[in-house]
């Protein structure tokens, strides 16, 4: 199947391509993006280990996808609303969402961890592609408010098979909604490979809906940033919605409940290890001598502190009263929910009696 050339700026050897966007690349920009990715990787790794130690019920790692997330969210304005999926931890960190907020849902102590309005970052959506329709609806509100916000919506390759995704693309195109759909094509939807999701490459399918599209190397943070900035600028000018397909790889299992060795090979992992997004930017920093030993020592210390804070904040979260789960089902509750709360309390009391 014919695909467009993948847009890239940074080789695995750290060499910058001869491209107009490379002129905007500064040492300061690269150090900032590198820091974002290193911190995200540390938080992700700590959370994984906390799950293994029984402190979290589940965790979905973003390992390998840091460039796709950091490059895209750093390309838009801080007030542009974002509708994430569920492994967008690097993007969340860039929006100031800290470890306690990120882990609460996965520790099962709260139904969500942060205020979406404060961070301009929606709650994680586990119902695949539902957030894409929310994003289009929000973008229609932006149109009616007459502001120039651009909505960024993340989703995965597997999610693109959902009816909701295709409805969202079509709906956004027909109303010219100010949305950038951002697909992290990490090659897998649990154990289903992309080859079983796409009859045609996603960026080509999206073009058929009338979206402006781009295919980008999702492990190249500079290319992702440049492509997202271009797309967001065109959307902000009123050019209609866009879709970016970022080619990346989910280096870990789907979740901590998954064993990826059952369905993929070590050779495939090696292929992607050689394209690691953090190593690639590090190669540029080293090659150009844009970061000295003090920068790396400070960043290591900052990552260690974030790791320690992640462990502390996780273990410090108190267990909620089980009845609290009924409080957030409907605003103001309902008689049916009250009956369920009472029945559950009665059931818990029988457990106490058995002790």
Q: Which residues bind ligand TPP (CB under 6 A)?
A: 87, 126-128, 156-159, 186, 188-190, 250, 254
Instruction: Name the DSSP class of 124.
Output: P
Q: Is 253 in the site for Mg ion (CB under 5 A)?
A: no
Question: Residue 236 Cβ, how far from ligand TPP at the closest point, in Å?
Answer: 27
| Cβ-Cβ contacts under 8 Å for 217 (sequence gap 6 or more) | 6, 7, 8, 223, 224, 246, 247
As measured in angstroms, the least distance from the Cβ of 17 to ligand TPP is 28
Question: CA angle, corner 255, sides to 206 and 267, nearest 5?
Answer: 80
For residue 79, count CB atoms less than 10 angstroms from its CB and return exposed for 0-12, middle for 13-18, buried for 19 or more.
exposed
Mark 186-215 with x for binding to Mg ion (rule: CB under 5 A) and - for no binding. x--x--------------------------
Q: How far is the CB of 349 from Mg ion (least distance, A)?
A: 44
In the list 156, 240, 241, 307, the residue contacting Mg ion (rule: CB under 5 A) is 156
How far is the CA of 108 from the CAs of 52, 125, 175, 319, 325, in angstroms? 15, 15, 39, 8, 10
Q: Which of the listed partners (ligand TPP, Mg ion, none) does 190 bind, with a CB threshold of 5 to 8 Å by partner kind?
A: ligand TPP
Nearer to ligand TPP, 102 or 142 (CB): 102
Tokens representing 291 are 């970061």
Interaction between residue 122 and Mg ion (CB under 5 A):
no
Q: Does 157 bind Mg ion (CB under 5 A)?
A: yes
Nearer to ligand TPP, 156 or 218 (CB): 156
Catalytic residue among 89, 250, 280, 341: 250
In the complex, the smallest distance separating the C-beta of residue 160 from ligand TPP, rounded to whole angstroms, is 7
DSSP lists the bridge partners of residue 152 as: 82, 180
Q: Read off the tokens for 62.
A: 């973003």
Show Cβ contacts of residue 244 under 8 Å, excluding neighbours closer than 6 positions: 72, 180, 181, 182, 183, 203, 213, 214, 215, 216, 224, 227, 228, 231
Closest CA to 255 of 211, 304, 191: 191
Collapsing DSSP states into helix, strand and coil, what is residue 78? coil
Instruction: Please say which residue, 171 or 182, places its beta carbon nearer to ligand TPP.
Output: 182
Rg, C-alpha atoms of the chain: 21
**Residue 119 a catalytic site member:** no
Closest CA to 120 of 149, 145, 90: 149
Closest distance of CB 248 from Mg ion, Å: 9
Catalytic residue among 254, 280, 282, 341: 254
**Of the two residues 213 and 247, which places its CB atom closer to Mg ion in the complex?**
247
Residue nearest to Mg ion (CB): 156
Q: Which stretch binds Mg ion (CB under 5 A): 69-77, 184-192, 279-287, 293-301?
A: 184-192
Of these residues, 77, 263, 273, 328, which one is catalytic? Answer: 263
Smallest separation (angstroms) from ligand TPP to the CB of 124: 11
Q: Is residue 271 annotated as a catalytic residue, yes or no?
A: no
Kindly state the smallest distance separating residue 291's Cβ from ligand TPP, in Å.
Answer: 30
- Please say whether the dihedral angle defined by the alpha carbons of residues 278, 279, 284 and 289, taken in this order, is positive or negative: positive
Helix (H) or strand (E) holding 101: helix 99-107
Q: What residue is closest to ligand TPP based on CB?
A: 156
Q: Is 250 an annotated catalytic residue? A: yes
The C-alpha atoms of residue 71 and residue 220 are separated, in whole angstroms, by 8
Total residues contacting Mg ion by CB under 5 A comes to: 5
Nearer to ligand TPP, 126 or 329 (CB): 126
127 binds, among ligand TPP, Mg ion, none (CB under 5 to 8 A by kind): ligand TPP
Nearer to Mg ion, 10 or 202 (CB): 202
Angle at 93 between CA 216 and CA 299, to 5 degrees: 95
Which residues of the chain form contacts with Mg ion (CB under 5 A)?
A: 156-158, 186, 189
Active site residues: 250, 254, 263
């Amino acid at each position: 199947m014919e695909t467009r050339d993948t847009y890239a700026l940074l080789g695995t050897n750290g060499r910058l391509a001869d491209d107009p966007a490379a002129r905007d690349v500064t040492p300061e920009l690269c150090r900032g993006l590198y820091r974002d990715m290193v911190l995200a990787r540390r938080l992700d790794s700590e959370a994984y280990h906390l799950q293994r130690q029984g402190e979290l019920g589940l965790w979905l790692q973003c390992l390998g996808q840091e460039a796709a997330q950091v490059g895209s969210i750093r390309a838009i304005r801080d007030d542009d609303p974002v509708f994430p999926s569920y492994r967008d931890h690097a993007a969340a960190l860039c929006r100031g969402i800290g470890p306690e907020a990120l882990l609460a849902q996965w520790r099962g102590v709260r139904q969500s961890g942060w205020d979406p309005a404060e961070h301009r970052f929606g709650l994680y959506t586990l119902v695949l592609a539902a957030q894409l329709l929310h994003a289009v609806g929000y973008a229609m509100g932006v149109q009616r408010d007459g502001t120039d916000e651009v909505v960024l919506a993340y989703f995965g390759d597997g999610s693109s098979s959902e009816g909701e995704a295709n409805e969202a693309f079509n709906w956004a195109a027909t109303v010219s909604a100010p949305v950038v759909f951002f697909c992290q094509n990490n090659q897998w939807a649990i154990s289903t490979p992309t080859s079983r999701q796409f009859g045609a490459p996603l960026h080509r399918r999206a073009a058929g809906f009338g979206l402006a599209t781009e295919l980008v190397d999702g492990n190249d943070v500079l290319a992702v940033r440049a492509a997202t900035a271009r797309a967001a600028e065109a959307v902000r000018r009123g050019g209609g919605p866009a879709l970016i397909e970022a080619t990346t790889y989910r280096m870990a299992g789907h979740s901590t409940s998954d064993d990826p060795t059952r369905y993929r090979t070590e050779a495939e992992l090696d292929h992607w290890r050689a394209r690691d997004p953090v190593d690639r930017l590090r190669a540029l920093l080293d090659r150009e001598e844009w970061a000295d030993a003090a920068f790396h020592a400070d960043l290591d210390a900052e990552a260690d502190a974030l790791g320690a804070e992640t462990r502390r904040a996780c273990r410090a979260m108190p267990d909620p009263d089980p009845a609290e789960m009924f409080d957030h089902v409907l605003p103001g509750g309902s008689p049916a929910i009250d009956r369920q709360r009472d029945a559950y309390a009665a059931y818990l009391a029988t457990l106490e009696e058995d002790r």
